[in-house]
Structure 1
C-alpha cells in the first residue's frame, strides 16, 4: 500500500515523539510487571468465580480448608487489579507512539496485529475500570457485572497471550539487560514502581491485617461499622429490618422441623472464628456462635454428605437463595450463627440467624435465614 508523504501530519510526522523512553527495553520491563499483575488477577478471579458458581458436577470438589483461603485469593485479586492500573497507564504511555507509526498499515498481517492490540487494550482497560468500580459497589452500566467481568478476563488474558507470542522476538531481545543506556529510564521505572507500591499498601489493608494502619485509599476499612464488621447489604436494603413475630426456621429433610429462636438456643452451641471475605476485596474475622448446620441436618434424619439449599427472608436479590455443597454442610465449623463476638446478631448482620462457613465468599454467607432444605 502506498501512502502519500503529505499525509504525514501531526503525530504521524517523523520525530513527533521526542522522549527517549518510548523504546523497547522500557516497554518490556513494564510488560513483565503488568503481565504478572494481570495473570495473578485472572487466576485469582477464576477461583472466586468457581467458588460462587461451581461448574456442573464439580461442586463437591471445592475445599473447606484453609478456612481463610478465599480471603487470601480475593484480597490478592483486588490488590493485583489495583496495582495493574498504574502499570497499564505507564505501559500504554511507553508504547502509544506505535499507534502513529508509518505507514499505518503494512499489509494484512500487520492490520490483524493492530486489531489484536486494540482488542487487548480495550478489554484490559474495561476489565480494570469495572473491577475498580465494583470495589466501590458502584455499577453505572446496564450490563451484569459478574458475568461481563468474567468474560472480559478471558478476552484480556487471551489477547495478552497472543500479543506475547507475536512479540516474542522483541521481548526475548530486550528481556535480560538493556543494549544501550537510555537517559531517565531507571528513574522512570523507579517512579512507576513507587506508584504501584503506594497504591498497593494504601489499599491492601482492607484484606491484610498488618497493613491496616496504612489503609488510606481502600473503599472499606475493616474494623469500622457495627461490632467492627462492615456491611455490604443492610437490613433496610433487604427489607428485613422487622423480623416477623412468628418467625420459624424451616428445616426440610426426611423429618421436617420448624424451630423458634428459643428452640435454636436450646440446641448445643458452638463457636468458630471465621472471616467474612467479600468480592470487593475486604475481609475481617469474627468469633461466631450458634448451631452446627450438620447437627440441624442430623435432627431431620438427613444422612451425612447431604447438600442443602438456604433461603433468606429478603424478598429479592441475586443471592437470596444459596446452595451449599455437602462438604461445607458437614464441616464442623459451618454454623447457623445466632450471634457474633458474644452478642446477639444485629439486623444488619443477619438477625435472627445467618450462615457462616469456612472458605466461602461473603455473598454466600446468607443472612436472615428462613429455610434450609436438604437436597
Structure 2
C-alpha cells in the first residue's frame, strides 16, 4: 500500500487549494519586515521576458513546481493523487515521467538534488489544519522516500522549496500579508521519520504594484515558488507577480535571504506559481496553472546585487515604509496589516464597481 503524507480523511481540506482560499483569514498581524525586506526595484538587472515554449499536455493542468535539469525542465502539478514529475524538453513536450508509490496530500514545489533525487514538497495547507507536512524523495532507481515535518509554531501553508547545495531543504511559507517564514529541518531526512523544524528567518515582502494573480494586490505578497541555481550561486523566490533573486555563498540560505534581493516584475499571469533557473544558472524560468501554460524566460543582465532603495520612488510599498519608520515594531505591524487589508478591500470594491 502506498505511503501517505496525510490520512485520507483529510483529503477534503486540500480541495481548498484555490488562491482565493488563502484570503479566508481577513486579518493577520504582519510583523515588521525582517532583514530580508524585499522592497528593492532593481528589475533593470533582467531583460524583457520572452515565451520559451507552451505546455499543452493535459497531464499538466495545474503546474505548480518547476526545476531546471540542464537543457530539460522538470514540472509538477499542484495536488494530485500520485507524486509525479514530468520531464520536459526545450519545446515543452513531455518525455519521461518519474513517480513514486506515495499518495501525497497537496504537493506544491520541487527541487533536483545533486544525486539526481527529485524532492517534492508536499506542503500545501491553505486551511492550515495539517499536523505534518512532507518531503517526498523520488530516487533514480525508482524507489521513493517520505519524511514528515512539523512546524514549531503551528500549521502553515507553504508553496516554496529551496534545496541548498549541501542538500539541506528550506520551506518558505505563503502569507497573505508578506511575513513569510523560512524553516529548516532539525535533522536529516529519513524515510518514515517525523522531523521537527526551526524557523531561521522571517521575510518582509511589501506591495510592488505589479499586476497579476488571482487575488488582487495581496498576490504581490504571497510566495508561491522557489529555486536554487544549479551552480549554487543564486536563490530565487516568486510571488504571483514578482521574482526576487539573492546571491548565495556556500549553503548559507538563511544568510543569503537576510540580504537585499533584486526584484524582477513578472509578466501578468492568471496564477503564476512556478520558478526555476535556466541551464546557465542565471536566467529565470516562470510558469503557472492552466492550459496552455507558457514557460516564460526572463534573461539575466548583471549579477544579482542589492540596489539602494530610492527615496520617493512612488511605489505602493513606499508610503507604508515611510509610515512605520519611526514607530514601535508592534505599532508598525498593525499599521502595515491595516494598510494591506484596506488596499485589498478597495481593490475588490473597484473591480465590482467596474462589473
TM-score range, shorter chain: under 0.3
Higher relative contact order (CA 8 A, sep 6+): 2
Q: Say which structure is richer in helix.
A: 1
Q: TM (normalized to structure 2)? A: 0.22
Larger Cα Rg: Structure 1 or Structure 2? 1
**Which is richer in strand?**
2
Normalised TM-score (structure 1): 0.21
